[in-house]
Chain A
Amino acid sequence: MLYIKCPHCGMRSQNEFSYGGDASVKRPELNKEVSDQDWDNFVYNRKSLRGKHWELWQHISGCRQWIKVERDTATHEIFKTLKADEEISL
């Protein structure tokens, strides 16, 4: 079970969180033209990386904040966690 540092609450066990996918995906702005390809990429296409990966988790059984977690998908090592409004550096 992973041990995740919630930037708001501190170190908490994985069972307090729910996984939310790739944190690097940016939703296209509302009311703007989006090409089929861009929309397709946003909705469906994910890289499924092996290695370092920025991902979203929500601390659902804690502060309910969405957070960003940099994790190695192969070793589960967690390098860094950020609040929702903090930018990730890819």
Chain B
Amino acid sequence: MTQSFRLNDVGLINREKKLSFKFNGVTYYGYEGDTLASALIANGIHLVGRSFKYHRPRGFFGAGVDEPYAIVQLYRNGETEPNVKATEQELFEGLEAKSVNCWPSVNFDIGAINNFLKIFLPAGFYYKTFMWPKSFWYKVYEPFIRKAAGLGVASTKHDKERYEHKYEYCDLLIAGSGPSGLASAYAAAKNGARVILAEDKSRFGGTLLTSDVNIGNQTGKEWADGIISELKEMPNVTVKNRSQVFGYYDHNMLVMSERISDHLPSTKKFHPKQRLWYIRAKEVLISSGSIERPLVFGNNDTPGVMLSSAAKEYLKVYGVLVGKKPLIFTNNDSGYETAIEFKKNGVDPIILDTRKDPQSEIVDEAKNLGIEIKFSYVVVAAQGYKKVKSADISKISDDKEQLSTIENIKCDCICVSGFWTPTIHLASQSGNKTQFKEEIDAFIPGESKQNEKTLGAANGIYTLDETLKSSFEAGNELSKKITNTENKVSFPNVVEKKSTVHDKFWCVPLPKGKNYKRFLDFQNDVAVSDIEIALREGYRSIEHVKRYTTLGMATDQGKTSNLNGLQLVSKIENKVVPAVGHTTFRPPYTPVSIGAIVGREVGKHSKPTRKSPMHYWHEKNNAVFVDAGVWLRPRYYKQGNETLFEGSKREAKNVRSNVGVCDVTTLGKIDIKGPDAAELLNRVYTNAWLKLPVGKARYGVMLREDGIVMDDGTTTRISENHYHMTTTTAQAANVLSHLEYYLQLVWPDLNVNVVSSTEQWAGAAIAGPKSRDLLHKLFPNSDVSNEGLPFMGYMEGDLFGVKARIFRISFSGELAYEVNVESDYGNFMWEKIMEIGEEFKIQPYGTEALSTLRIEMGHVAGSELDGRTIPYDNSLEGLLSKKKDFIGKRSLTREAFTAEDRQKVVGVVPLDKKTSIPEGSHLVKDSKAALPNPKLGYISASCWSVEYDNPFSLAILKDGKNMIGEKLFVMSPLKNKVIPVEIVSSHYVDPKGERVRS
């Protein structure tokens, strides 16, 4: 295929570098610097897709971010990406793209039958039709909608690309590198401000790349190039292309997505595909320019109908003609600029101007070039199905109500210009209440809400001279306030052609007897008639009209359609546009890949992984790990083909009969120091702490102010004013914040310091009847006898030259100790314990055995202390001091908390002593009762009792105190289980607690 629409010597593309690419399976060629859109148009391709609702043929409408049509499925380096705008995708060697919304092909699409049935698909069609009958929803409507809808297919594969996040701070963030962005950035940079200048396209300069102007004796592009290269040299300036500032959030935080590798055939090694920037700017200058508005006429969605500014961009930037017989349909001078560019390149355009007799330099130039101009003329309808072939045109009366005789003229494209809409999205997102500017029939930003200012065309200023002047001024003023430096730049001389006022007319009336669709929203197929129906049916609020008709709701968010929609509503309702108002602008301004939003926080990186110092020993010894919060803990140490059930049973049994060792490094640890430390403990724990001697540990429970148990653990008095608190793994961070809250805000008079020491200590729990024998050998110089180190005792010891803390505390219910050493010695400690423990048949045990041991002992833990239970529920009421006040005490007198039949922890054993009880199951009196079956309680934790060799569970049961011996049913509808059970004491093993003291 030849690039028959490519000019020889115009444009900014690199003709030295030819690139091949595939579209719908056919190979074409373009040049480096092309977009997929410009390369396709160069090859004469104008049919790229099908529309969303009617599956009408779709071509190109714009040349950038505003594109509503040319959305393709992209294939790059083995990956596929939907919702890619061909107008934004830069061409690379080997690019592959396919049309979306069409089946079996873009040329013959079955869905296009909707187009002929469109009488059935007016506004609100989905709401009206798919409501009934209800049974049709799953079987008929949903599959139909799913198949018909969508703009491409998301990949179901893991995205191998890397996406980065970056946090940045600057004095001025400038969004857009057109004339206003360049001028303000330059002025601010000269004053020494830290400037970030962001441009969403690959080329800097915005409209300067295409407009016929002169700045300081240079062309617009030359001037822009000069400014950019100077800015790039300045250390205080960051210049970013391919970077879209898409969201303006609170406190001048803006988010920008930088497409680093999307324009390359594949991402370079160690490079991200995209980078998301979180930018906190002292001042924001919005120089996002404006977007040309369409004119509305019959079949104005036919491929070949496009914005006149886009036609000019394809010509001047890419050297591509969008047509060889162009018709320019305009209500302002902008269309003339496009016509003049065509003429200069040997193509004869015809201009249809809705105005009667406009007088301006640009109009004069067109006349002088001999361009055919028809004043007071409109396009009534485009003709042609897959591409414009001709246009029905007509003279229009002065009041714009009456058409005259319809003539048909041949053309291969219709370039429309309905004047310009400022891109106010960012300003509006910042909280700025917009205002309607009558002269341009559009909204511009109003009073600034945050530190933001909108410049140039985005602010409704459409002359270059005024834009540059005000932008230099703004950049200078804002930056000098920050840097206290002023290096004023001399203002260049600007030459531009003067233009005259536009015509407010934009929607061509239907000729008699014709029922052409006149589209407002090109991506969602919303036509003039849809808005008329919505209003006829009583929709008034523009937000409702939007949702009922889906105007402006597609991925382009109505960049080209919103204002015409508003104008139509205002015309029908006979209200001024500002009274109609506009719908809310919400971020993102353009679609952002989910990958960029997620960043590096994917899979294992979605949260940090914490490992104990003994982790690699566990790994080497076949530990099967489990997530415990952010920690990785051994669940069991697999021997041979053991299952979790078998392995954990073996480990637990060994603790009960010999000795086991468990890594308890993950327990939260808080170091507490100060003369008032005991007083703090006394206030936050429910039991008494003032008389705990040095060298003793105590178990404590802390409550929230509402009386619910917050956490439990042991705290040890290390020395006079020094305590070591342990918390559960899960609550460690919350408990520290809790203590800090009371110390800093409620009792600042207490002289206490708290600091987390979780990371500083490695911990090993040594449990089992032979644990003391092992301890004797580990600490030969310490008296670890029952007298020397009694239950809840503490001492310091010497572990082969390493200072160790020895606590005699037990979670397993066995005779047990916990040894702590500084983290760096953790592995040394562990290996010593294993080495010396060998003669006592020591085995490491994981969290599953740990749970088994504590459950059958009736020790409550996280599954009972679940943020819903009070001390009584956990049989911890014995730890509630009657003599002193403590956090949460007052709440315990609440009526529900003191009810006679208050829930309480109990033990549950299946009658058959065989069936395992699923955690989370409910306890009921009668398994066959009518639904909803009254729930008496729930199973909080289950295990296989190694002591009795049968299943055993803990449950929180209503009136648990009086339920011991009752026969109930456990029901788990999820697992489809009904198990007859007996309620027993929660202290299933060693109810008197003799072993821990032995």
Which positions in A face B, CB cutoff 8 Å? 1-3, 13, 18, 20, 27-28, 30-31, 34, 39, 42-44, 56, 58, 60, 64-66, 75-76, 78, 84-85
Contacts and interface: CB of A to CB of B under 8 A. Distances in A.
A75 B431 contact: yes
A60 B886 CA distance: 25
Interface residues of B, number: 25
A2 B250 contact: yes
B724 to A, nearest CB: 19
8 contacts: A2-B251, A3-B250, A3-B253, A13-B167, A20-B741, A39-B891, A66-B745, A76-B250
Nearest to B249: A1
Contact of B280 (A3, A20, A39, A65): A3
A39 B885 CA distance: 14
A42 B746 CA distance: 13
Given A1-B249, A1-B250, A31-B884, A42 B705 contact: yes
A30 B749 CA distance: 14
Contacts of B278: 1
B740 A58 contact: yes
Contact of B744 (A2, A3, A65, A75): A65
Contacts of A43: 705-706, 891
Contacts of A2: 250-251
A44 B884 CA distance: 23
A34 B892 CA distance: 13
Contact of A66 (B733, B740, B886): B740
Interface of B: 167, 249-253, 278, 280, 431, 683, 705-706, 733, 737, 740-741, 744-746, 748, 884-886, 890-891
A78 B706 CA distance: 30
Given A43-B891, A58-B741, 7 more contacts: A2-B250, A3-B252, A30-B885, A43-B706, A58-B737, A65-B744, A66-B741
A64 B280 contact: no
Contact of B748 (A3, A64, A85): A85
B748 A84 contact: yes
Contacts of A20: 741
Contacts of A27: 705, 746
A43 B892 CA distance: 12
A30 B683 contact: yes
A41 to B, nearest CB: 12
Nearest to A27: B746
A79 to B, nearest CB: 13
B223 to A, nearest CB: 36
Contacts of A42: 705
Contacts of A18: 737
A30 B278 CA distance: 45
B737 A60 contact: yes
A31 B882 CA distance: 11
A9 B152 CA distance: 48
Contacts of A39: 890-891
Contacts of A31: 884-885
Given A84-B748, A85-B748, A3 B741 contact: no
B740 A64 contact: yes
A1 B252 CA distance: 9
Given A31-B885, A60-B737, A84 B745 contact: yes
A1 B251 contact: yes
Contacts of A1: 249-251, 253, 278
A65 B748 CA distance: 12
- 4 A-B pairs closest in CB distance: A3-B251, A84-B744, A30-B885, A31-B885
A76 B740 contact: no
A17 to B, nearest CB: 11
A60 B736 CA distance: 10
Nearest to B734: A18
B286 to A, nearest CB: 19
Contacts of B745: 56, 66, 84
B928 to A, nearest CB: 40
A36 B884 CA distance: 19
B452 to A, nearest CB: 14
Contacts of A85: 744, 748
Contacts of B744: 65-66, 84-85
Contacts of B737: 18, 58, 60
B403 to A, nearest CB: 51
A1 B705 CA distance: 30
Contacts of B683: 30
A88 B863 CA distance: 40
Nearest to A75: B431
A31 to B, nearest CB: 5
Contacts of B740: 58, 64-66
A34 B167 CA distance: 48
Nearest to A38: B890
A58 B743 CA distance: 13
A78 B250 CA distance: 11
A81 to B, nearest CB: 13
A34 B280 CA distance: 47
Contacts of B884: 31
B742 to A, nearest CB: 8
Nearest to A60: B737
A56 B744 CA distance: 12
Nearest to A56: B745
A1 B746 CA distance: 29
A9 B107 CA distance: 63
Nearest to B741: A66
Nearest to A66: B744
A43 B886 CA distance: 14
A8 to B, nearest CB: 11
A41 B249 CA distance: 35
Contacts of A65: 740, 744
A50 B103 CA distance: 52
A66 B742 CA distance: 10
> A1, A18, A65, A78 — which one has the most chain B CB atoms within 10 A of its CB?
A1
A18 to B, nearest CB: 7
Contacts of A60: 733, 737
A1 B167 CA distance: 12
A50 B225 CA distance: 50
Contacts of A13: 167, 253, 280
Contacts of A64: 740
A11 to B, nearest CB: 8
